[in-house]
Amino acid sequence: MTGTEPWRTLWEDYEEPEIRYAVAEACDGIRGITEDADSLEPADTVALAIAGAEAAEGLRDALESDWALYTPQQAAVVASALFAQLNAATAIFESLQRLLQNAEDRRETAFTTEAADHLTHAAAAVAFTCGVAPGAVNALNACPDLTRLPSDAHETLAGVAALLGPAAKVTENHGPGEYSEDDRGFGCGCEIRFEHRGQAWNFHRGNSSWDLVREQDGEALEDGSTFYQGWNGLGPTDSTAHPQHLVTLIRAKLDETS
């Protein structure tokens, strides 16, 4: 994407695989309702409004995290999607006014001038806000991205080890360059071992998650592997999560268990 990309299509064209998967999961129910607009009933319409409100409030809460986004380009995608919602809201307020007018024409309500004025003013205010959309989105998208994010699980692991310091050792379980993640999401098989306040800890890629375990809690099995009754899943599931994000979570978890 470039700074000249139309602001309204940035969110539609975003192709990062992990995000596309999450979008499909989050939106399947909504798409199931909206695929045939002619068959929508009032219950569907109200449900869509409530789902949109929950999504907006969920995003508000998500953005409170210092690691909610990694790059300015991700911020541009979020801004593009938010302005698309506002742009749709303009038409929604106008549609509410039309629907209530239709109900009055059928003598099913008494649609007041005050209510009509409020909807008109709301639509105008939102439309005015959308006027800054192209500049805001394009400016964010043009910001230099100085972050070099990992390209695979092994690079993530190596980045975490470097940030943890010289005491953190990466145990290699494959040859050079053989870094592909297995089809079950268990990374490349490597792990980090380090000590914290006299206790040995292990950080590795689990079943599509990043896991931190205390080695004394493990049980050695006959095949040489170790079984853990419990582990600390750190939250981010992406195999290429920002290493500093993971280190922040590791240190917080270590503080909890000290």
Determine the Cα–Cα distance for residues 60 and 54; give it in Å rounded to an integer: 10
Average pLDDT of the chain, as a whole number: 87
Could you give the count of Cα atoms lying within 13 Å of 168 in the half-sphere of its Cβ? 19
In the prediction, which pLDDT does 5 show? 54
Among 11-20, 87-96, 145-154, 205-214, where is mean pLDDT lowest? 11-20
- The pLDDT of residue 239: 87
Q: What is the pLDDT of residue 216?
A: 79
- Please indicate, yes or no, whether the overall pTM of this predicted structure exceeds 0.75: yes
The whole-angstrom separation of Cα 56 and Cα 154 is 35
227 to 28, 198, 214, 235: CA distances (angstroms):
37, 21, 11, 21
* Exposure letters 4-32 (e unless 16+ CB within 10 A, then b): ebebbebbeebeeeeeeeeeeeeeeeeee
CB neighbour burial string for 162-198, b if at least 16 within 10 angstroms, e if fewer: eebeeebebeeeeeeeebebeeeeebbbbbbbbebee
Tell me the pLDDT tens digit for each residue of 9-68: 899 888 887 788 888 888 898 988 988 878 889 999 999 999 999 999 999 999 999 999
Q: 127 pLDDT exceeds 50? A: yes
* Nearest Cα to Cα of residue 83 among 26, 38, 139: 139
Would you list the domain boundaries of the chain? 7-142, 153-257
Tokens of 111: 């649609």
Q: Measured in Å, how far apart are the chain's first and last C-alpha atoms?
A: 45
Mean pLDDT of 68-74: 94
The pLDDT assigned to 210 comes to 92
pLDDT at 3 > cutoff 50: no
pLDDT at 183: 54
pLDDT above 90 (res 102): yes
Q: If pLDDT is split at 50, 70 and 90, which confidence band does 1 have?
A: very low
pLDDT of residue 41: 93
**pLDDT grade for 4, boundaries at 50, 70 and 90:** very low
* Residue 2, pLDDT score: 46
